[in-house]
Structure 1
Amino acid sequence: MSISYHVERVTRALDILSIFIYTASVVKMNLLAISLNLIDVNHIYWPTDV
């Protein structure tokens, strides 16, 4: 197995991982904005597993 093949696989895995992390962060920010807009400030529930 050549080194370039291994580097290519690692690079592809990192690309997929970075896209996944970016998507998760965008979804998290959208959910946070939605919850802040829909829930009254006095009744905000803060999940402990975030």
Structure 2
Amino acid sequence: MEWYDARDAGSGPAQYVINKHDNNKGPFSKRKDYVVFDKILTIEVNEYTAQ
């Protein structure tokens, strides 16, 4: 959310990278998702507590 708020205020990068780390399924050496600020329609944030 810090990235989004900064970009909304006019500073910060236009995209945010989500590194999938150990979630690399298949023959990939790296996997990343890119979120582009001006293409965002909605944001959902889920927070979990470790048990």
TM-score under structure 2 normalisation?
A: 0.24
Q: Which has the higher helix share?
A: 1
Question: Per chain length, whose mean CA-contact separation is higher, i.e. which structure has more relative contact order (CA < 8 Å, sep 6+)?
Answer: 2
Q: Tell me the TM-score normalised to structure 1 length.
A: 0.24
